[in-house]
A and B are shown apart, each in its own frame.
Chain A
Amino acid sequence: MKDRPCAALRARLAWAGWPRRWPALVTWALLLVLALVGLGADFAFGQVTLVATYAIAGLGVVIIVGQAGQIVLGQGALVALGAYAQALLVQAGLPALLALPLAGAVGAVGGVLASLPAGRLGGLYFGMSTLAFALIVEEALVRWESLTHGAAGMVVAGFGVAGWRADTPLAQAVVSIAVLLAVLALCARLLRSRIGLAWRAVREDETAAAACGIAPAAAKLRAFVVGGSLSALAGGLYAHWIGFISPEQFGLVFSFELLMLAFIGGARQLSGALWGALVVVAIPQAIAVLRDALPGDWARSAGLELVLFGAVIVGVVLFRPQGLASGSRD
């Protein structure tokens, strides 16, 4: 009788895939320890916060690109919507914890608006309509000065819950990891449900999925709703961590960073978002180190950074193509 709760717990853990996952968890713990020792605690926790926040935003892309097999070119705008929604709601006096789900909801609406025009066509048209949506949002954020202060940007208050403020790097890391884990668990559940099954069916073969009674258009729309709200949620957190948001932070390059994140990590698994986030956060810093190591004035030019960043993208695509979601075509 005594070991019954324990058996139940073990069964639950097994159901959650615990035995399979422990190597990954050990790897992540080791990485964290290495970062703490190598980089100093504050910097390391800052990086952990950034990786976790990027991973949440990247999960949105993983859902849309990797699970539902669609293409999205303007995910940065959904992050921007979340960040601005969060900033404005907190400014209006709403508690940050209450504002976060609302920011996510704004992202869900954004996802619907961005994908709706291409709903019947799918494929590349999703790329086109999300790109157009992103460019419209960016312009609106710059132009609607009475609300967003335009290109000058907005200052965002720190994250706090009922008197407690997350103002140390450790606290911020803890909050982002907690949100990330919650979101991962939610997504894992979603992927096991009928909705996730429908996404994979649509990704593999839309006609066959439709013949099995799945409505492809509805499945795609759900992917954009979930993906949009995840990215906007990350935007809401990001606004607090950075403390200052402006439209240019969420431009086209950011959208492509998120795409690259999903590509590098492998969009078929949710954990791909984590690995991708780690790489995407590390790249600019690696480039900065490399640039300082190079001799001469030439290395100081802004052009070199662009060349190196572009080279990383090209190299990743050419030499590690198996990380990608091979079902994301049309």
Chain B
Amino acid sequence: MLSLLQVLSSGIAIGCVYGLVALSFVLIYKATETVSFMQGDLLMLGGFAGLALHLAAGWPLAFAALGAVAAVALLGAGLERLALRRAIGQPHLVAVLLTFGLGMMLRGAVASVPAAAQDMYRLPFATDTIALGPLVLAASHLWVVCATVVLMLLLAAFFHRTRAGLALRACSEDARVAALMGVPVARMHTLAWALGAGLAAVAGLLLAPITFVHLNMGFIALKAFPAAVLGGLTSLPGALAGGIFLGVAEALAGLLLPEGTKDVVPYVLLMTALLLFPQGLAGGRPGLGGR
């Protein structure tokens, strides 16, 4: 029972990371109709940027984290201005190849820094544990869950209480009508990419204490695709819920199923979900989210 609770807590924590990456993917996809294959690389970059600011430049951890997220968000906005907006209105293939290529360039750029390519890093508070009676939880897991909750509240407030959030939502619903209503659609696309890149960087920083910061940490973003699909591909809360569901399912599979099947579980779930619930697990209810 105790071990089950511990496995669940780590599953929820890693699921929050999947969910955040899926959220960033869905946010970009909804607002700009662009399929981003570079969220994993932005995540990795976020982790390294935080690390560099903290260890190399000597900033306090909190400032380093904020700086890293801001830097990656700026990078996302810049890339949108320079290249990514060319993919708007084009077939999905264009965006897929473009973001894959940009992601490769980011990965290559980080890999050509010798210090980054050689070592794995951990953030200082990674090994702390918290004992709740007999239950011992990793501090990093609780930290991830808390940060995700706070982030969700902030995002919900942004989307429902600010003009920019409203404009972004209008843009996602129908860019043409939004443009007719005076929404600066091009600026909203830049904003969506900045938000998406920033969210991926947050996910990278949250992942840093759980796994290490290393060049291939971005591969975890592949699991954001099943999470996004489980959430219906166009629903922000759905993406997060899908991510947490995946994290828990994966953790339970690691506990119950034979060695090695754990990594396949998200993709098997993706294909099963498409087969059985084509509208996503949260879909099928008219008038809620969806398209």
The verdict on B108 contacting chain A, using a C-beta distance below 8 Å, is yes
Task: Tell me whether A128 and B229 are in contact (CB under 8 A).
Answer: yes
In the assembled complex, the CB of A131 is this many whole angstroms from the nearest CB of chain B, namely: 6
Q: Bits for A277-306, please: 1 = Cβ < 8 Å to B, else 0.
A: 000000000000000000000100111111
Q: Which residues of A contact B105 (CB under 8 A)?
A: 306-307, 310-311, 314
Contact partner of B263 (CB less than 8 A), chosen from A139, A259, A325, is A139
The verdict on B167 contacting chain A, using a C-beta distance below 8 Å, is no
Within 8 A of A (CB), among B120-140: none
| A133-B271, A310-B103, A314-B105 given; A123·B92 CB < 8 A | yes
Q: Which residues of A contact B114 (CB under 8 A)?
A: 301
- B contact patch SS: helix
- In angstroms, Cα B90 to Cα A310, docked, is 20
Task: Tell me whether A303 and B278 are in contact (CB under 8 A).
Answer: no
Task: Tell me whether A303 and B35 are in contact (CB under 8 A).
Answer: no
The verdict on A318 contacting chain B, using a C-beta distance below 8 Å, is yes
The verdict on B222 contacting chain A, using a C-beta distance below 8 Å, is yes
Mark the stretch among B65-73, B94-102, B190-198 that contacts chain A.
Answer: B94-102
Task: Tell me whether A306 and B92 are in contact (CB under 8 A).
Answer: no
Within 8 A of A (CB), among B233-283: 233, 260, 263-264, 266-268, 270-272, 274-275, 278
Residue of A nearest to B111 (CB): A303
The verdict on A170 contacting chain B, using a C-beta distance below 8 Å, is no
Question: What is the interface residue range for chain B against chain A?
Answer: 35 or more
Q: Which A residues have a C-beta under 8 Å from some C-beta of B?
A: 65, 71, 73, 116-118, 120-121, 123-125, 127-129, 131-133, 135-136, 139-140, 143, 252, 256, 259-260, 263, 298, 301-314, 316-318, 321, 324-330
Excluding A302-B117, A306-B105, A310-B104, 19 further A-B contacts by CB distance (< 8 Å) are A117-B271, A117-B272, A127-B96, A132-B225, A132-B226, A140-B264, A143-B260, A263-B97, A298-B112, A303-B108, A303-B111, A307-B108, A307-B112, A308-B108, A310-B106, A313-B101, A317-B97, A324-B91, A326-B91
A-B contact pairs, 26 of them (CB 8 A): A65-B93, A71-B92, A117-B272, A124-B92, A124-B233, A125-B229, A128-B229, A128-B270, A128-B274, A135-B267, A136-B264, A136-B267, A136-B271, A260-B97, A303-B108, A307-B109, A309-B101, A310-B101, A310-B105, A311-B105, A312-B101, A313-B100, A314-B102, A317-B87, A321-B86, A328-B92
Q: Which B residues have a C-beta under 8 Å from some C-beta of A?
A: 35, 83, 86-87, 90-94, 96-98, 100-114, 117, 222, 225-226, 229, 233, 260, 263-264, 266-268, 270-272, 274-275, 278
